[in-house]
Amino acid sequence: MKSSTQRALLALAFGTVCLLPAGLAAQQAEKEDPSAKPTPHFYDGHPDLSGRWGGQGGFFAFKDPEGTTHIYLPSREAPKSEDPDGKLARYYLQVDGDKRRAENPDKPPYKPELMTKVHQLDRDENKLDPVVKCHPPGVPRMGPPARIVQSKGWIVFIYVTEPGNFERLIPTDGRAHRTDLDGSYNGDSVAHWEGDTLVVDDTGFNDDTWLGSDGWFHSEKLHVVERFTRKGDTLRYEVTVEDPDVFTEPWVRRPRVLRLDTNPLDEVYDAPYCESLDAGHIVNHDHF
């Protein structure tokens, strides 16, 4: 079973919690709206998405049961203009995994006959979740990238997750998907611009990832569309997930709005080492 430290790292890696004291989060939310700043543009006229996204501009420290202090850079969610009632902030600030799961506003629309399987996988999540076995989390579970590097005809997404750091090199010239590839964890991605929004189309997945830690499995027919829109120093991340084998309709996920991290101390760091668990020694159903 994972230690409390490992659980905190797992949640932090997937951007599912913001371990920032509520008072400090409120103070930051009251600062100048970063979306009002000028939006930088690339040489071709499209918005420049390059940067470190989601850093909160400071450090977060916690002690594990052995008394060791760990310091990490938590992600920071929507600014006040995108979350006026604070619901998103409160949701992402939750540390209690079971409470977050119960209150999750973003549940996939599984076919009724598949809900028994979802519940069974959810019950045994600490044994069956692919990330517990150090598999890549896949798309869209990784969420928005920690850093984006924009170049001519290509864009690079860099992620920090507990199984490891991952990169996606995606063409932005409007080319079609390849048809000669086997299914993979991150699929085959191509991108094009629709006005000021970069649209990333993802197909060609295997079925060895989950869409979330609640038993949210998918088939090889998974199709994901990610949309990235920069406004000032904010990046809006929208995801639509289709899987006709398991869903009754497309799953349109709640948008996330991240701030540009301008703190020079914040940088993409090496992910914590992933140690595969011995499932035979797990005797409970604790969730991560």
Residue 288 located in a structural domain: no
> Which H, E and C letters describe 174-187, residue by residue?
CCCCCCCCCCECCC
Residue 49 located in a structural domain: yes
Going by C-alpha positions, the residue among 27, 38, 21 that lies closest to residue 80 is: 27
Q: Tens of pLDDT along the chain (288 residues)?
A: 344 444 443 443 343 333 344 444 444 444 567 888 999 999 999 999 999 997 433 333 444 456 554 443 344 455 566 666 666 555 555 555 556 566 666 789 999 999 999 999 988 888 889 988 888 899 999 999 989 999 999 999 998 876 678 899 999 998 999 989 999 999 999 999 999 999 999 999 999 999 988 899 999 999 999 999 999 999 999 999 999 999 999 999 988 888 888 776 556 666 566 766 555 556 555 555
pLDDT tens sequence across 64-82: 456 554 443 344 455 566 6
Structural domains in the chain (count): 1
Residue 286 located in a structural domain: no
Going by C-alpha positions, the residue among 251, 275, 231 that lies closest to residue 134 is: 275
Residue 252 exposed, middle or buried by CB count within 10 Å (0-12, 13-18, 19+): middle
Going by C-alpha positions, the residue among 62, 42, 88, 17 that lies closest to residue 230 is: 42
Cα separation of 135 and 149, whole Å?
25
Residue 53, token pair as written in the block: 């996204």
Q: Please state whether the peptide bond connecting residue 136 to the residue before it is cis, i.e. omega within 30 degrees of 0.
A: no
pLDDT of residue 36: 87
Cα separation of 27 and 6, whole Å?
29
Residue 43 exposed, middle or buried by CB count within 10 Å (0-12, 13-18, 19+): exposed
pLDDT tens sequence across 100-155: 566 666 789 999 999 999 999 988 888 889 988 888 899 999 999 989 999 999 99
**Boundaries of domain holding 94:** 4-281
Residue 192 located in a structural domain: yes
Cβ contact 146:261 at 8 Å: no
Residue 287 located in a structural domain: no
